[in-house]
Chain A
Amino acid sequence: MTFNFPLRPLRSALGAGLPPIYAALLLGVATLLCPTKARAIDDYKLGPLSMEQADVPKGRVIAHTNFASKVFTNTTRDWWVYVPAQYDAKKPANVMVFQDGHDYIGLKGAWRVPTVFDNLIHRGEMPVTIGIFINPGHQTSRGTLTNAWRASNRSVEYDSLGDRYSRFLIGEILPVVAKDFNLTTNAEGRAICGASSGGICAFTVAWERPDQFRKVLSTIGSFTDLRGGNLYPYLIRKTERKPLRVFLQDGANDLDNAFGNWPLANQMMAASLRYMDYDYKFVFGDGQHTSKHGASIFPETCRWLWRDWKEKGL
């Protein structure tokens, strides 16, 4: 068999060893059984849990601007805090931190996290959780930022390996939120999320500081050689297992560029997490380098991530 692109997920075809004739037969049967029209790739839609529901209490969103970091000097960034309606200052709330916060916070945006949280918390499918949505830094010397995706310090902050971003998050952002709200210190109750470079950033924080964050949600994660992140699948296999729960999503039509092949990189991550017996879930679709698939399954993913919150007393 000569290799054909686009890359298929490893061992995804039933009976990888089937000769072509049987494979074709199987495919034919499958096609007959699925009379629906072939759907376009990356055709994922938001479901009802991502839509505002009339009878569900709404949390509030507090916007912050111009955060000046000591870890990432001479940068500025906007950020937001979501506080669910069910928040009770007497009980420590769980925490979920989103990188590229602007993309997650909007009620009409790609992810609509406040709405999803409102719905899931109301239904008891995830615990009372304060959301922290942080934009990447923009160097003040670079003038005004018009598009948050173009923040000049994004790659340095998100793609770099090591403990620096976690020092910023844990040492600078969290204390500010903790001044106003009762946040849990239980790492099991602290999740971190991101897409693309934000995805590897989320993983890096938990990898470096499992004492602080133990739940990771990465979509279309850049576990490639932007800044050495292609090492992770290999590090995982030779590092004592960390107490992390990891969710990964990627699509067969994700990027293949000068820094690596995203679908292969994410398959490698999944294979490595499996090898080391991590508590992980890998969803591999046919999406491109977008958040469509990740956002469409986001409510389901949150349920999986927080599935045992009641038993764990989170």
Chain B
Amino acid sequence: MKRLLLFCTTAALSICSQAQDLAGDLTLHRLLIPGEEWQLVVDKQGFVDAPCAGDDDNFYFSDMRSEQGIFRVTPDGKVEPFVKAKGVSGMKFAPDGRLYCAQGGQKRIIAIDPKTGETSVLATNVQPNDLVVAKNGHVYFTETGKKQVTLLIPKTGEVRAVDIGITAPNGITLSASQGTLAVSDYRGIHVWTFRVEENGDLSAKMPYMTMRTAPDTAASDNRMRAPDYKTASGGDGMATDTRGRFYVATTMGVQVFDPTARECGLLTKPSDKAITSVMLAGPKHEFLYVTAADKIFRRKVQGEGVLFFK
């Protein structure tokens, strides 16, 4: 009888397996769409990075090894040259309509007018890896080698360190309301968050999100119990959606967190290759793009990207 009863209760419970999710639970069920898997959208590039969304249905990216540099993918999947800039590892559209680009190789940040192709230099003598541009025009960028997050105010040309100490600050994004700045640590396990002050300063620094890493099995062979886990997440490029979810490209895949830093889940990598960044772009900004070596993949999700310049 016991088994019959167990069967009955199991059957009753299986009517909806997620019936107990709370309204605020941003579960994988509320992010992924059944049948919408990763699709290859760009192939046979050199090394792609800097995925970027515009105020349109296109998706923008950089091929760090090409002379052309910046390309866009149209909604029907066509890859076409956009503007010229070599070695761009991070870029975002700014409120002034220009595309701000991190050119670490040339130790500078530039702004490109997409209409004229005209390039202006916003900051020199910097080592930018990735950047984000707030609605007020403030640019925050990571200088990974210097363990530094730096603020650039284009209006005044001011450049100043706003945080020092994260092991390898890499990806960078804002919260949906732009009151919080989030920075991923490539060689650590945290995404750090800060309160964004009106003058651009950062405060309330916390190791807010904890990224998952793989077990370091061999190191743990000589004892029982939970293994040591790898201490480097490979936390790289980041994105934000309108519900406040944070997305981070990591060694294990795309890790997603809710606005209060609780892990929503891990999305499997589309290929064996490391993913370097992630962005919501394309039609309605509902496609999650990842850059992986010479390829770009995307999948439709239940999440809409935030355009910080708007």
Residues of A within 8 A of B (CB): 9, 11-14, 30, 34, 155-156, 159-164, 225-228, 230-231, 237-242, 259, 274-277, 282, 284-286
- Most chain B Cβ neighbours within 10 Å, of A14, A164, A225: A14
Residues of B within 8 A of A (CB): 1-3, 5-6, 8-10, 13-14, 17-18, 28, 32, 214-215, 217-218, 220-221, 224-227, 253, 263-268
Per DSSP, are chain B's interface residues mostly helix, strand or loop, or mixed? mixed
Residues of A within 8 Å of B226, CB to CB, are: 225, 227-228, 230-231
B268 — which chain A residues lie within 8 A by C-beta?
A: 239-240, 242
Query: A238 touching B225 by the CB < 8 A rule?
Result: no
Report A98 CB to chain B, min CB distance, Å. 22
Pair A227/B220 contact, Cβ less than 8 Å: yes
Main secondary structure of the interface of A (DSSP, over half): loop
Name which residue of chain A comes closest to B14, CB basis. A274
Residues of B within 8 A of A163 (CB): 214
Residue of B14, B225, B266 ringed by the most chain A CB atoms within 10 A: B225
- Chain A residues in 8 Å Cβ range of B265: 237-240
Can you list 8 contacts pairing A with B, beta carbon distance less than 8 Å? A11-B9, A14-B8, A14-B9, A30-B1, A160-B215, A164-B217, A227-B220, A239-B28
Contacts of A277 in B (CB 8 A): 17
Task: Please determine whether B215 and A161 come into contact, CB atoms closer than 8 angstroms.
Answer: yes
- The answer to whether B224 and A238 have CB atoms under 8 Å apart is no
Contacts of B6 in A (CB 8 A): 9, 12, 284
Complex: A238 Cα to B6 Cα, angstroms: 26
| Chain A residues, Cβ within 8 Å of B1 | 30, 34
Closest 8 CB pairs of A and B: A228-B226, A162-B217, A238-B265, A162-B215, A161-B215, A239-B266, A12-B6, A160-B217
Q: A240-B28, A240-B32 are in contact. Are A156 and B221 (CB under 8 A)?
A: yes
Smallest CB separation, A78 vs chain B (Å): 22
Chain B min CB distance to A299 (Å):
17
Given A156-B221, A238-B266, 10 more pairs with CB closer than 8 A: A160-B220, A161-B215, A161-B227, A162-B214, A162-B227, A163-B214, A228-B225, A228-B226, A242-B268, A276-B28
How many Å from the CB of A151 to the closest CB on chain B? 15
Chain A residues contacting B218 (CB-CB under 8 Å) are: 164
Cα(A285)–Cα(B202), bound, Å: 57
Contact call A227/B224, Cβ cutoff below 8 A = yes
Q: Which residues of A contact B28 (CB under 8 A)?
A: 238-241, 276
User: CB distance B9 to A240 under 8 Å?
Assistant: no
Chain A, Cβ-Cβ closest to B9 = A11
Task: Report the nearest A residue to B223, measured CB to CB.
Answer: A227
Q: Which residues of B contact A286 (CB under 8 A)?
A: 2
Pair B9/A12 contact, Cβ less than 8 Å:
yes
In the assembled complex, the Cα of A268 lies from the Cα of B14 at a distance in Å of: 15
**A227 & B9 in contact (Cβ 8 Å cutoff):** no
Given A228-B225, A228-B226, A240-B28, A161 and B217 contact (CB-CB distance below 8 Å): yes
Task: Tell me which residues across on chain B come within 8 A of A161, comparing CB atoms.
Answer: 215, 217, 227
Identity of the chain A residue whose Cβ is nearest the Cβ of B21 in the assembled complex:
A275
Assembly CA distance A161 to B215 (angstroms): 7
Task: With both chains docked as a complex, state the minimum distance between the C-beta of A171 and any C-beta of chain B, in angstroms.
Answer: 15
Shortest Cβ gap from A166 to chain B (Å)? 11
Shortest A278–chain B CB gap in Å is 9
Assess whether B5 is in contact with A238, with CB atoms less than 8 Å apart: no
Whether A228 contacts B9 in the complex (CB less than 8 A), given A161-B215, A161-B217, comes out as: no
